[in-house]
Amino acid sequence: MTTTTKTSSLWLITGASSGLGYALARAVLEHGDRVLLTARTTAPMDELASRYPERAHVAALDVTDASQVAAVVADAEARLGGVDVLVNNAGVGYIGAVEEGDDGDVRRQFDINFFGPAAMIRAVLPGMRARGRGSIVNVSSVAGFVARPGLGYYSASKFALGALTESLWHEVEPLGLRVLLVEPGGFRTGNVARSFFAKERNPAYAATSGAFRDLVVGLGDSSGGGDPARAAEAIYAAVHGGGEAHRLVLGSDAHGGVTAKLAELRKDYEGDAVAALARSTDRVSS
């Protein structure tokens, strides 16, 4: 990275070499802000950086490597004036039934989808708190609210990210910071090719997680009706437009999944019988 005088917001985007991260970096640059594009492999980002040599910066970053996380954020603070917007976009899928899960692959997915973003958040918060401003955008998924067969471990990692995000906004918004959880549906981002698949297939789940796996493999990265460029514009507008919303649902499929889940939750949580059962377990004062 080269030293730059701070004249506009600096976005640090993880997983910016492809998909939504790349689309968002391009949108941010087109709007005149600065971007620190990061990913494990930097070559795919070089062309975009060359188009905006004064405002685009590239750094190698594996979010599961604590030393790289610390070094990249420290360099951004020292040379680029500090991170104004952190976008935790790097992520990977895992497809398979819960029983089929491989411990190593599941832990690797959690390292990327949950522990990596958590490390990035801890790294940027001291600078943001000192300046009294900043935004943190965590890219989750509709699967972080709606769990389906074959996506148990992926959903678990995204549910965890959503819970962390919710706690975070209660902690840092009184300090003048902003936190946003992005929940996209199916977008053509190349995520399928980067996903882990369970190594073993159990025929007991052929009609559930197995069927979903076959569907995903068959469709590949042609699945999903979402446009990454439009999603990028929506995220940019949400960050710069302010507002009080904490969640950004992107894609008609995501909206449909979320609203259907809300209806299911109301059946389980609302109503006189539910309230009566809850009260019946309270300790009775003597």
Catalytic residues: 17, 140, 154, 158
Distance, in Å, from the CA atom of 105 to the CA atom of 12, rounded to the nearest integer, reads: 27
For 135, list phi and psi in degrees, rounded to 5: -130, 140
Long-range contacts of 207-216 (CB under 8 A, 24+ apart): 208/97, 208/149, 208/150, 209/95, 209/96, 209/97, 209/100, 209/149, 209/150, 209/152, 210/97, 210/150, 211/149, 212/95, 212/148, 212/149, 212/150, 212/151, 213/95, 213/96, 213/150, 216/95, 216/150, 216/192
Bridge partners of residue 283, in order along the sequence? none
Closest by CA to 180, choosing from 272, 73, 86, is: 86
User: Are the C-beta atoms of 32 and 240 separated by less than 8 Å?
Assistant: no
Distance, in Å, from the CA atom of 141 to the CA atom of 161, rounded to the nearest integer, reads: 10
Other beta carbons within 10 angstroms of residue 199's beta carbon come to 11
